[in-house]
Structure 1
Amino acid sequence: MASATTESQEAQAAASVVPSGRTVVDAVSGWLRVLDDGSVDRTWTGPPEALPLMQPVAPYSDPRDGHTLHDLPGEPNLRVYLPEAGKGEDRLPVIVHLHGGGFCISHPSWLMYHHFYSRLACAVPAVIVSVELPLAPEHRLPAHIDTGVAALRRLRAIFAQSNADAGGALNTDPAAELLRDVADISRVFLVGDSSGGNLVHFVAAQVGQDGTDHWAPLHVAGGVPIHPGFVRAERSRSELETHADSVFFTLDMLDKFNAMALPEGATREHPYTCPMGPQAPPLKSVPLPPMLVAVGEHDLVRDTDLEYCDALRSAGKDVEVLLSRGMSHAFYLNKFAVDADPATRERTRELIDAIASFVSRH
């Protein structure tokens, strides 16, 4: 009888066979392949031990570890974490989560997000609304930004006074009713991992440009880009790779994802990946809420993330920085490392504590 690992490898190999008559025209090793008919195969072909982190977690209405989990289908689809602490008299702030994946992969239902954001919901405590984002190359930027803004619009609609304002049956969904019972949409915080960190900047900027009156009663009180995928064209490969120590995040992968996600013909200096670069509007002119930027000491994009923080300060923005010592990109999403390694577990606790403190002060 074959081992579980062997069976997994055989299943992946079978799933990754190119259909007859088609060829692979582009690929990101391990993660996805683009075929000549325009279809995309996202079968994981990397190390099989990573597969459990990508398994979806089903919703549940009976409390587990102090919270319940609900899916709210619609445009866009939302996943809602409700901590049991929300049953008190005080309404809870809302964290809108924008997942990472280089704009090209992943889903908010994956275990890697679930284990962190379910814990964060209870620690703050806060309602967490995780947004299902479109994926490139089928959907290039700014589709992801537009979806993040649409999620806020949908959240505001849930609290509208009439079903007509909220899109008909939207207000009758049980998850929507639970949200209205416990959430305070005057205190919304945007949190994003990796490429989701890029989206925090641009979704917040769009809301700021629209103005307070346009979004009332919803108010974005702060943003938390975690290891945002910011890059600069002039940085050499050797400079960028100095801090990298993760086989799941390489410069080639970053370049491939950006090429698939950015508008046709765009380079690394495009504002979507370099909001402090020469092609971007001056940061002084960009209306942003207070920001807490989380940076990994051994992250491939550490220096560029710190450059972003410096640029925010120079523009007079309210910004705090959390540097996770000894940690690489998105370390806190690796449940196995968090469970087994004391240093990773402690840095993850520090990150959660920092977000909780940031939310409590804004």
Structure 2
Amino acid sequence: MDNANVAESQPQVQAAGGRSRKVVDEVSGWLRVLDDGTVDRTWTGPPEALPLMQPVAPYAVPRDGHTLHDIPGEPSLRVYLPETNGGEGGRLPVIVHLHGGGFCVSHPSWLMYHHFYSRLACAVPAVVVSVELPLAPERRLPAHIDTGVAALRRLRSIALSSEDGALDDPAAKLLREAGDVSRVFLVGDSSGANLVHFVSARVGQDGAGTWAPLRVAGGIPIHPGFVRETRSRSELEVRSDSVFFTLDMLDKFNAMALPVGAGKEHPFTCPMGPQAPPLESVPLPPMLVAVGENDLVRDRNLEYCDALRAAGKEVAVLINRGMSHAFYLNKFAVDMDPCTAERTQELIDAIASFVSCH
């Protein structure tokens, strides 16, 4: 059964007490907005995708060369600590991960993120800090940007904590000891890649003095979910081979996440468009942009890269040949398909090289 048929077969959700609540809006397979304002995120798409959405519990005993820790709070952080010692002072660069999901779904504890970012932490090596983001439509943009900035503030606060027991959380102490916050790199998947742009810009606008000793040394948007009114739907539909990412899904997610009344040219989904501030005026760090050759939003990603260059920004581009949107998060494809595994390794190598150069 395809996603559309699954959604059509479940027009109502049973509430406590036997009352049926009507579905008033939905993103097929992913979520349903009910008439009482609540949101049901029970996955109703292909069941083979469910294992990728299972949460991975933290562990303090090393596995595959790293440990995994959760730091609850506002916002909550998930920290991958490789066993490898860093350079001067034994500290490692910090990669701050902003997860995707169309601003509306997913969680940093899911297996799809865990398998990639645990591997990235050891390969770079770097401390990887994944941020738990709010979800739309309950919380619309710019809440996600605000949370990304709050995560950096929390990271800075942890780094500035003294050694006299000011940090009660053992995981926060480990993070402070391992991470070099003067070399922070923002990385995001899909909608999280959009956030890389806006969180970087917000920090840049504040100025280096406001954030010291924390410094955003680079941004790594991977397959950002940028859209434009001018895209060619027929061309893009032929290009994509992903059953979990369609133009209709992207449109629905954006409609639920953008400020009420905003259109597709809103800067949050089109930072290089006419409604956005001129990129020349936006303070951004060096960028490495990953673009899927078969991605629905490939043209918009390349347009973004061209706009960055025209604005005098430092940008490197990695084309993931033959790959569709967020291919590297599919652990099963990475494990079983040699081409997907090769492209995933190319992505990891490119990120490691970018970090080492900045």
Aligned-partner residue type, residue 115 of structure 1: H
For 1:77 and 1:251, how far apart are their aligned partners in 2? 31
Q: Is the 8 A contact 2:229 2:265 kept in 1?
A: yes
TM-score, normalised to structure 1's length? Answer: 0.93
Q: CA deviation at 1:171?
A: 1.6
Taking the aligned partners of 2:90 and 2:227, their CA distance within structure 1 comes to 41
What's 1:32 paired with? 31
2:351 to 333, 355, 361: 355
- SS, match of residue 159 in structure 1: helix
Per-residue deviation, residues 209-231 of structure 1 (Å, max 9, x unmatched): 00000000000000000000001
* Superposed CA offset, 1:296-329 (max 9, x none): 0000000000000000000000000000000000
Shift of 1:78: 0.2
C-alpha distance in structure 2 between counterparts of 1:220 and 1:309, whole Å? 19
Equivalent-residue separation in structure 1 for 2:243 and 2:145 (angstroms):
28
CA offsets 1:30-63 (integer angstroms, 9 cap, x no match): 0000001010000000000000000000000000
Aligned positions, number: 347
For 1:328, the equivalent position in structure 2 comes to: 324
Deviation at 1:357, TM superposition (A): 0.2
Q: Which residue identity is paired with 2:48?
A: E
Percent identity of equivalent pairs: 80
Normalization by structure 2: what TM-score?
0.94
Counterpart residue identity of residue 247, structure 1 = V
1:29 & 1:359 partners in 2: Cα distance?
37
1:185/1:218 contact within 8 Å kept: yes
Task: Please list, as runs of the form range in 1=range in 2, the aligned pairs for 1:1-362 lying within 5 A after superposition.
Answer: 17-19=13-15, 20-86=19-85, 89-162=89-162, 171-362=167-358
Structure 1 residues 78 and 170: CA distance shift in structure 2, 3 A: farther
- Alignment root-mean-square deviation, CA: 1.9
Gaps of 5+ in 2: 1-5
Q: Point out the more displaced range, 235-244 or 206-215.
A: 235-244
Q: CA offset at residue 244 of structure 1?
A: 1.4
Shift of 1:236: 3.3
Q: Contact 2:13–2:22 (CA<8 Å) still a contact in 1?
A: no
1: CA distance between counterparts of 2:144 and 2:353? Answer: 28
In 1, Cα distance between equivalents of 2:57 and 2:93: 24
Deviation for aligned residue 1:179: 1.0
2:130 is matched by which residue type in structure 1? S
**Which sections of structure 1, spanning at least 5 residues, go unmatched?**
1-9
Aligned-partner Cα distance in 2 for 1:17–1:279: 39
Query: How far, CA to CA, are the matches of 1:213 and 1:229 in structure 2?
Result: 31
- Residue identity in the other structure for 2:95: I
Alpha-carbon distance, 1:240 to partner: 3.3
Q: Matched residue of 2:217: which SS?
A: strand
Letter in 2 for 1:72: I
**Contact 2:13 2:20 survives alignment (8 Å):** no
Moved more, 230-239 or 185-194: 230-239
